[in-house]
Amino acid sequence: MIIYNYIFVGLLLIVAIGFALAPLVLVALVAPRKQSLAKQDIYECGVRTFGETWIRFRIQYYIYAIMFLVFDIETLFLYPWAVAYGGLGLFALVEMIIFLAVLFVGLAYAWSKGVLRWV
Amino acid sequence: MNFAAEWTLPVMWAQQQVELEWWTWLRWGLWLVLGFVGIFPGVVAYMVWAERKVAARFQDRIGPNRVGPLGLLQPIADAIKLITKENIVPRAADQVVHLMAPVLLLVSAFLVLAVVPFGFGTSQVDNPAHFNGFVPIDPPAGILYLIAVASVGALAIFLAGWSSRNKYSLLGAMRAVAQLVSYEVPQVLSIIPVILWTGSLSLVAIMNQQLDQGWFLWSPPGLLAFTLLMIANLAEVNRTPFDLPEAESEIIAGYHTEYSGMRFGLFFLAEYLSVFAVCALTTVVFLGGGSLPFVDYPRLFGTETNTAYLITNGLAIGITAAKILFLVFVMFWVRATLPRLRVDRLMNFAWKTMVPLSLANVLIAAIWYECVIRPGQPVQALGFSLPKPVLGWLITLPLVLALLWLVFWINRREWNAEVKAARTGLTRGGLPGIVR
């Protein structure tokens, strides 16, 4: 009952990859192909590119990624709680209020420290 | 246990567990061939046409009208054009990843649609008032599956930007990932009220629950969650006003700058397919799928005979499609109306407005559950009785309004403080409105 659903997901995966690759194959058969040095340069903004592209990026992105991780894992706790809520009663609500309060403190701390500030 | 046995064990287990009837395979085959290869791409192709028409009308133009009547053959002409274009891949690009990225994005958009019920299907055997859903599969953890496969899209976008060896592509990809992960948090959180009210992660169970008690939209926390979900959806599919990853005035075309011809076409298709998918998700989760308010037609007609089945599901598919296309139209409408956000405001809006709102909304949703959905009378102890929904609205509406006021007040206060500090020269930057 539970597992066989994912057989369809496997089939759909194959169909989806096939659906994405089929026009590409068609392009390889139909479309013209005239390679040239200038054409296969990196376009970038129309001007010849210079310097290294794969450089280090600023820390801001990393900090947002950490914030995302915190809240994503927290969601992981919220989902089972939400599913089981009907059978748990008021005690679960109080517990979740405490859990969310702790998270709110974390968010407020990050906020006040300027982590959420895109500089 | 030796090595060979460890490898064959899952296979043997699967063979024992799975005894599928031939009609299940037939149903799946029809879904794959007619639905996923036929109807969905067709709908998406005509969504592109509709968007061009709608955007043109918003801008007082006529839109495509040359290819066929009303320009209806435009998508076909576009497809032919894309196929006959040369596939240009930069020499310096990572060839494998460059090919993989659009395929992965399209696959992620396709997989989402596997769990969305478009109609009611047949009645359940043990509970005839509930339905099995007109859906390829109904896994018990449907929403988790949906979120999991939808977030693969962020990976695909980053692969595209990284493999192009183009500075603007990489910048667009970094922006895209930052934006997608930021808005994924409120997106995921704003579905929690619905799960809480249903007590299940299955989309079909959510649809059935809304047949019992009306659309989840009609409650203060439901309205707030629906609004948050729609905004987060816009950001998740990179549409205006959240289209910074492909902001053409700053970073050329963002992560797909180096893509041309059909590979670009795949990105395009995947974007519109995701729009369709998130609108379908929102429809099922908040707008009750194929149900109508006040008219309980699926139970009126039933699904016992073939005619009844066809009438019920025909109506349901039509109504679901109308709702989905309305939400899609809202997205076009927003695109024609709003300008693009600035990157710092985009991130601020996600973390300082949407995350607190959606987190607190989970608690308000729990209160709504206690007032309205939980069986029994909630306020008998207090000595008066009100109809349950009235009580729920009386309690949760002030809470939602207070929450909105609080969050926007805090943000406004921070903004005012920054403006004041900038005026008195206490910060090194300029006005908060100026990108530093």
pLDDT digits (tens, 9 = 90+) for B220-248: 999 999 999 999 999 988 887 888 777 77
- The answer to whether position B166 is within a domain reads yes
Taking 90 as the threshold, does the pLDDT of residue B313 lie above it? no
Mean pLDDT over each residue of chain B, to the nearest integer: 83
- CB proximity list for B110: less than 8 A, separation 6 or greater: A12, A15, A16, A19, B36, B40, B273
How large is the ipTM?
Answer: 0.87
- The answer to whether position B397 is within a domain reads no
> What pTM does this model have?
0.88
Name which of B40, B110, B358 to mutate to probe chain A: the one with the most chain A Cβ atoms within 10 A of its Cβ.
B110
- The answer to whether position B385 is within a domain reads no
Mean pLDDT over each residue of chain A, to the nearest integer: 83
CB contact under 8 A, A31 and B87: yes
pLDDT at A37: 80
CB contact under 8 A, B114 and A12: yes
Distances (CA, A) of A28 to A22, B76, B416: 10, 19, 58
CB contact under 8 A, A54 and B352: no
| Domain range annotation of chain A | 2-112
- The answer to whether position B392 is within a domain reads no
Question: How far, in Å, CA of B35 to CA of B150, rounded?
Answer: 19
Query: Which domain covers residue B158, as residue numbers?
Result: 3-374
Q: Which residues of A touch B82 (CB under 8 A)?
A: 23, 27
- The answer to whether position B150 is within a domain reads yes
Q: Which of B210, B200, B268 is nearest to B239 (CA)?
A: B268
Q: What percent of chain B has pLDDT over 90?
A: 19
Give residue A71's pLDDT band: very low, low, confident or very high (50, 70, 90): confident
Nearest residue of A to residue B270, measured between CA atoms: A20
Give residue B10's pLDDT band: very low, low, confident or very high (50, 70, 90): low
- The answer to whether position B413 is within a domain reads no
- The answer to whether position B302 is within a domain reads yes
Q: Which residues of B touch A11 (CB under 8 A)?
A: 28, 32
CB contact under 8 A, A16 and B188: no
CATH topology of domain A2-112: Methane Monooxygenase Hydroxylase; Chain G, domain 1 (1.20.58)
Q: Which residues of B touch A4 (CB under 8 A)?
A: 17-18, 20, 24
The structural domain count of chain B equals: 1
Q: Which of A13, A29, A60 is nearest to B32 (CA)?
A: A13
Nearest to B362 among A15, A16, A78 (CB): A78
Lowest mean pLDDT: which of B239-253, B375-389, B410-424? B375-389
Long-range contacts of residues A112-118, Cβ cutoff 8 Å, at least 24 apart: A115/A63, A115/A67, A116/A67, A116/B347, A116/B348, A116/B351, A116/B352, A117/B344, A117/B348, A118/A60, A118/B343, A118/B344, A118/B347, A118/B348
pLDDT at B224: 93
pLDDT at A49: 76
- The answer to whether position B249 is within a domain reads yes
